[in-house]
Amino acid sequence: MNTVAFPGLGLEFHVSSIAFRLFGWPIHWYGVIIAAGFILAVVYCSRQAPKFGIRQDDILDMLLAAVPLCIIGARLYYIIFYLDLYRRPDGSLDFGAMVRIWDGGLAIYGGVIMAVIVLLVFCRLRHIKFLAFGDLGAYGMLIGQMVGRWGNFVNVEAYGGPTDLPWRMGIYDYVDGTLQYMEVHPTFLYESLWNLLGFLLLAWVAKRGRKFDGQIFLSYFAWYGVGRGIIEGLRTDSLYFFNTPIRVSQVFGFATSAVAIVLLIYLLAFKKHDPARLWVNQMKARPRLAALVYPEGEGGRWLEQQKKRLERDFARTEEYALPKDADPGERAEFIAALRGREDLAEVLVKEEKTK
């Protein structure tokens, strides 16, 4: 049980790293909070996907590869620049400690780098415009980071140096082997709020209308990089370039932000953009065609759900209500003929209700 206080605000919390136990196995708050951020990000992005020309099914398919690989990327990034944390007293590497991610130790930039790589490969395989998917994914990143930072609060980590500001955070931690009380910058909170503000800002930009695919993607790196670079300078647990005083995330944050800002200025101020070139408008201009086949009088809710889903996927529909007394052989032949049509991307069939 950890005690975390905000003495200037009159607040004190007693937090445990374990949320509950499942069949005797401890489920840690860190994992629960990360999972909550992930779920919120997926729900939001799934709802917004049609505005970017992205199909919901493509989001789910991409996540099957992205989730495990991004966790691995975030962990590897942390381990590479903090390798001494995973050494035993005899100097050998403790691989068990390396896989215990519930104890903390995920570097967000490792996850971001892996996410970009996975998305590039996925979009190439699926023939989807990477920058359009990247625009949508930027919102998911901000939501995930905004919520996920509270996992650091529970683990009492990712805090800054000493301060006497009104919102200072009081914690107990070991210094040179001795448990001491310290009042420090709550940098986890700074970053969570910075991501919240960035999310609201980019949502406003999208509402006003994107000029080109990649605008939100670049804006994410411009915004997050500046904030992370500044906040990283306050932290006491930064990852460094091996044995140098250079903070990895600070350099990476400022560098990616600078590149993104230069590109945004050029693309917004000096280049004209045709709305028809936006991926979402390209998808609307060449929608897929799907056939819906159902027993006469039984379309109902099934038909409504399928049409709504296909509309979100930029598909036009053809509907076929087959007579209930139709010969089964003729029915099967008709459906086979539909599936043989090259212009139909999908044929969905509702089976007749049995009495």
Q: Please write the tens of the pLDDT for every residue from 264-275.
A: 999 999 999 999
Average pLDDT over the chain, rounded to an integer? 90
Q: What is the mean pLDDT of residues 207-233?
A: 95
* CATH classification for the domain delimited by 287-349, as one of 3.40.50.880, 3.40.50.10860, 3.40.50.20, 3.40.50.460: 3.40.50.10860
Cα three-residue angle 228-32-143, rounded to 5 degrees? 40
Token readout for 144 is: 């995930």
Mean pLDDT along residues 301-326? 86
- The DSSP code for 168 is -
Q: What is the mean pLDDT of residues 110-135?
A: 94
Mean pLDDT of the 30-46 span: 93
Helix, strand, coil fractions of the chain, as percent rounded to 5: 60, 15, 25
pLDDT in tens, 188-218: 999 999 999 999 999 999 999 899 999 999 9
State which of 148-162, 248-262, 296-310, 341-355 shows the largest mean pLDDT: 248-262
Share of the chain above pLDDT 70, in %: 98
Residue 88 is which amino acid? R
- The residue with tokens 């919120």 is 40
* Matching residue, tokens 């023939």: 127
Residue scoring higher pLDDT (352 or 122):
122
User: What region, left, alpha or beta, does residue 298 occupy, with left being phi > 0 and alpha being psi -120 to 50 degrees?
Assistant: alpha
Average pLDDT over residues 344-349: 90
Give the pLDDT confidence score for residue 87 in this predicted structure: 85
Output the CA angle 26-112-199, nearest 5 degrees. Answer: 90
pLDDT surpasses 80 at 108: yes
Give the model's confidence band at 229: pLDDT under 50 very low, under 70 low, under 90 confident, else very high.
Answer: very high
Q: Average pLDDT for residues 125-143, to the nearest whole number?
A: 96
Q: Which is more confidently placed, 80 or 125? A: 125
pLDDT at 191: 96
**Is the model's pLDDT at 57 over the cut of 50?**
yes
Confidence of residue 280 (pLDDT cuts 50, 70, 90): very high
139 has pLDDT over 50 = yes
**Is the model's pLDDT at 101 over the cut of 80?**
no
Residue where the block lists tokens 């970017």? 52
pTM for the full predicted model: 0.83
Question: With 90 as the cut, is the pLDDT of residue 297 above it?
Answer: no
Confidence (pLDDT) at 353: 63
Contact status, residue 66 vs residue 119, Cβ threshold 8 Å: yes
Identify the pLDDT of residue 241. 80
Q: How many residues does the chain have?
A: 355
Residue entry with tokens 């995920």: 106
The per-residue pLDDT for 17 is: 84
Q: Residue range 312-321: average pLDDT?
A: 86
Confidence label for 355 from pLDDT (cuts 50, 70 and 90): very low
Residue pLDDT, tens place only, 167-183: 999 998 877 778 889 99
Q: What is the mean pLDDT of residues 229-256?
A: 88
Q: Where are the domains of the chain?
A: 2-275, 287-349
- pLDDT for the residue numbered 350: 87
- The more confidently predicted of residues 244 and 191 is 191
In this prediction, residue 146 has a pLDDT band, given cuts at 50, 70 and 90, of very high
- The DSSP-derived string for 252-310 is HHHHHHHHHHHHHHHHHHS----GGGSHHHHHHHS-EEEEEEEETT--HHHHHHHHHHH
Note the pLDDT of residue 352.
65
Query: Lowest-pLDDT range, 153-167, 194-208, 238-252?
Result: 238-252
Kind plus residue range of the DSSP H or E element containing 349: strand 346-349
